[in-house]
Amino acid sequence: MLKTLSITSIYVLDQDEALDFYVGKLGLEVSTDADLGFMRWLTVSVPGDKGREILLEVPGPPSLDPATGEQARELLTKGATAGTLFFTTDDPLGVYEKLVAAGVEITDEPVDRDYGTDFGIRDPFGNKARIGSRKDQQ
């Protein structure tokens, strides 16, 4: 049986720009930054949550052939292949204010819903994220 999900991947066009966004603006931390020769293995995680990482992957070899990688980069630029991440926080309104001040693109303002309060953002590459608190985890 499956036990955990340890790494998920999202496509980014520039790993250094992705680091600036995910570490510099969202406050994640680098888990692994390794030059494997054929690719840069770059993962980030929520501080203190080393069990789950996000691979910031540039579309192309080795997982995609060059032509498919180019197509994926074109679709990513259009927002058509973007992934979605979900983060939780105890202070969604405080995080929202911090991210607005940092110039993060907000796609949905904070809203109180049946399950909790959350809002939406988008990274520089079109990937979406929801950030919020859940009533069942308070």
2-19 pLDDT per residue, tens: 988 999 999 999 999 999
- Provide CATH code, domain 7-137: 3.10.180.10
Looking at this protein, which amino acid is placed at residue 44? Answer: V
Which of these ranges, 68-72, 82-86, 116-120, has the smallest mean pLDDT? 82-86
Percentage of the chain with pLDDT > 70? 99
Q: Residue 5 in contact with residue 112, Cβ under 8 Å?
A: no
Residue ranges per domain, the chain? 7-137
Task: Tell if the pTM clears 0.75, that is, is over it.
Answer: yes
Three-state SS at 10: strand
Around Cβ 75, how many Cβ atoms within 10 Å? 15
Tens-digit pLDDT profile for residues 90-135: 999 999 999 999 999 999 999 999 999 999 999 999 999 999 998 8
> Token pair for residue 107?
């796609």
How distant, in Å, are the alpha carbons of 34, 59, 62, 69 from that of 66? 21, 9, 9, 5
Instruction: Please state, in angstroms and as integers, the Cα–Cα distance from residue 2 to each residue in 5, 6, 86, following that order.
Output: 8, 11, 21
